[in-house]
């Protein structure tokens, strides 16, 4: 009944055992718990796990591929996933937050005068000036680091990399933030240059690696998403990215609006429906023969099977549904869909847990522990 979900896929050169991917999800769990969590997901049948927000430059905030300890951490994640027959992909990212500009808010955050919700828009205000003023030498250092980090990720055991097309790639792509007047700003081709150079660096360092690109799309009427690629500009960006070495696209709504737009709850006015961002996949489909991964509000096996069977998308990435039930894929494969714990898109313990710094969990975990 779910033949397509359960069938293998050549995802830009990497063979996945089925069509189910764990979407990049920063979990905020202690490092020892993270490997066990991914192992559980792989054992539950997910073909590939994308590790969210792996920094491309040496970083003191969280694990870094460049330090001995950080490298060992990422290797432990890869080993855990491989031990259950899964594949693992590193989401390579560069933040677009201006660290120096952030410093002035630290006292307010520490004294709780500024909440995390209030901090976000304050940081967003700094993105435009930061991107617009970034020196070209710094740009070259960052784009080259995508290649170096990809090489380290593969050494640590990762099977694939995803270039995070939101964050710095996304803010360079967007006219909302990018007001540069040099070769990195102005026309859509120029605004694509940063992302294209990042992908090219990965390709130069690793000629054969499959490169996924998280293509963050923003829309007008109504306006959603501030970073990323405007719908009308996809015909410029997609061929340029593919030409640089991208082998698959992971398509979603662009960031830097409300987090609840990119991680929409069921009652969201625009993106409340199952498969809420698939309309962006339809646009990308017209522009490339590369495989396309859909993400966003996907929970229902029947709906997903239909999207895959019709060829609308080639695979699905899920974050919250696999948080709610890490054994989703296995239950689908075994015809036990009535046993699936369905994500109700309440955002209470997953996004809520992340925002409150208590780690990503699910309302079902609470019930289980009662
Ligand atoms: C707690 C949480 C953390 C996330 N962290 C990341 C991340 O690190 N990188 C990223 O690109 N997307 C991140 N996302 C977005 C997801 O990858 C996904 O696009 C979004 O949740 C919509 O899919 P869903 O409806 O299956 O949850 C996160 C989502 C959640 C819920
Ligand atoms: S708390 Fe659980 S059920 Fe609610 S949205 Fe998050 S993953 Fe889904």
Task: Establish whether 167 is a catalytic residue.
Answer: yes
Ligand nearest the Cα atom of residue 263: 1
Q: What angle do CA 204, 210, 216 make, to 5 degrees?
A: 95
pLDDT at 59: 84
Q: Which residues contact 90 (CB under 8 A, 6 or more apart)?
A: 50, 51, 54, 74, 149, 150, 153, 158, 160, 161, 162
Residue from 259, 272, 324 to probe ligand 2 pocket by mutation (most atoms less than 8 Å from CB) = 324
> Which tokens hold the place of 297?
């509000």
pLDDT tens per residue across span 328-351: 999 999 999 999 999 999 999 999
Q: Which of 19, 40, 113, 167 is catalytic?
A: 167
Mutation to probe ligand 1, out of 20, 21, 26, 293 (largest number of atoms < 8 A from CB): 26
Residues with CB under 6 A from ligand 2: 320, 323-324, 343-350, 362-363
> Distance from the CA of 44 to the center of ligand 2, in angstroms?
18
Residue 67 in contact with ligand 1 by CB distance below 6 A: no
Residue 32, pLDDT score: 85
What's the CA gap between 143 and 300, in Å, rounded? 38
Cα(208)–Cα(252) distance, integer angstroms: 26
Return the CATH fold of 3-369.
Answer: TIM Barrel (3.20.20)
Q: For position 306, what pLDDT does the model report?
A: 98
- Ligand 1 atom at shortest distance from the alpha carbon of 214: 11
Q: What is the pTM of this model?
A: 0.96
Tell the residue nearest (CA) to atom 2 of ligand 2. 362
Q: In angstroms, what is the span from residue 23 Cα to ligand 2's centroid?
A: 14
Instruction: Write the pLDDT tens digit of every residue in 125-155.
Output: 889 999 999 999 999 999 999 999 999 999 9
Query: Checking DSSP bridges between strand 9-11 and strand 14-16, what pairing results, if any?
Result: antiparallel
Q: Is the CB–ligand 1 distance for residue 218 below 6 Å? A: no
Contact between 274 and 298 (Cβ < 8 Å):
yes
pLDDT in tens, the chain (370 residues): 899 999 999 999 999 999 999 999 999 898 889 999 999 999 999 999 999 999 999 988 789 999 999 999 999 999 999 999 999 999 999 998 887 777 777 777 777 787 777 777 778 888 999 999 999 999 999 999 999 999 999 999 999 999 999 999 999 999 999 999 999 999 999 999 999 999 999 999 999 999 999 999 999 999 999 999 999 999 999 999 999 999 999 999 998 778 899 999 999 999 999 999 999 999 999 999 999 999 999 999 999 999 999 999 999 999 999 999 999 999 999 999 999 999 999 999 999 998 888 899 999 986 665 5
For residue 362 and ligand 1, the question of a CB distance below 6 A is answered with no
The reply to whether ligand 1 has any atom less than 6 angstroms from the CB of 360 is: yes
Q: By C-alpha distance, which of 285, 286, 307, 311 is closest to 298?
A: 307
23 Cα nearest atom in ligand 1: 17
pLDDT for res 69:
95
What's the CA-to-centroid distance between 58 and ligand 2, angstroms?
33
Domain ranges of the chain: 3-369
């Amino acid at each position: 009944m779910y033949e397509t979900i359960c069938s293998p896929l050549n995802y830009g050169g990497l063979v996945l055992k089925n069509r189910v991917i764990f979407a990049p999800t920063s979990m905020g769990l202690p490092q020892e718990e993270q490997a066990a969590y991914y192992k559980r997901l792989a054992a539950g049948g997910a073909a590939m796990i994308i590790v969210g927000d792996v920094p491309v430059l040496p970083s003191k905030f969280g694990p870094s591929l460049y330090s001995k300890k950080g490298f060992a951490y990422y290797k432990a994640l890869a080993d855990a996933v491989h031990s259950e027959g899964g594949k693992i992909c590193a989401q390579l990212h560069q933040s677009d937050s201006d660290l120096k500009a952030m410093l002035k808010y630290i006292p307010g955050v520490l004294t709780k005068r500024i909440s995390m919700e209030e901090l976000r828009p304050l940081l967003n205000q700094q993105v435009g000036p930061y991107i617009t003023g970034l020196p070209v030498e710094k740009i070259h250092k960052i784009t080259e680091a995508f290649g170096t980090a990809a090489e380290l990720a593969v050494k640590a055991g990762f099977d694939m990399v995803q270039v995070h097309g939101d964050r710095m790639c996304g803010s360079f792509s967007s006219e909302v933030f990018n007001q540069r007047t040099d070769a990195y700003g102005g026309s859509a081709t120029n605004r694509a240059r940063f992302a294209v150079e990042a992908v090219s660096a990965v390709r130069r360092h690793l000629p054969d690696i499959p490169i996924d690109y998280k293509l963050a799309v923003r829309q007008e009427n109504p306006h959603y998403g501030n970073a990323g690629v405007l719908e009308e500009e996809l015909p410029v960006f997609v061929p340029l990215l593919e030409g640089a070495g991208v082998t698959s696209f992971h398509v979603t709504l662009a960031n830097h609006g409300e987090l609840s737009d990119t991680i929409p709850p069921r009652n969201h006015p625009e993106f409340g429906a199952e498969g809420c961002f698939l309309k962006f996949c339809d646009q990308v489909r017209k522009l490339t023969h590369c495989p396309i991964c859909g993400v966003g509000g996907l929970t229902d096996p029947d709906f997903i099977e239909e999207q895959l069977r019709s060829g609308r998308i080639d695979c699905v990435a899920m974050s919250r549904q696999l948080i709610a039930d890490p054994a989703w894929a296995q239950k689908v494969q075994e015809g036990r869909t009535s046993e699936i714990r369905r994500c109700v898109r309440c955002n209470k313990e997953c996004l809520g847990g992340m925002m409150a710094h208590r780690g990503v969990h699910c309302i079902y975990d609470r019930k289980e522990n009662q």
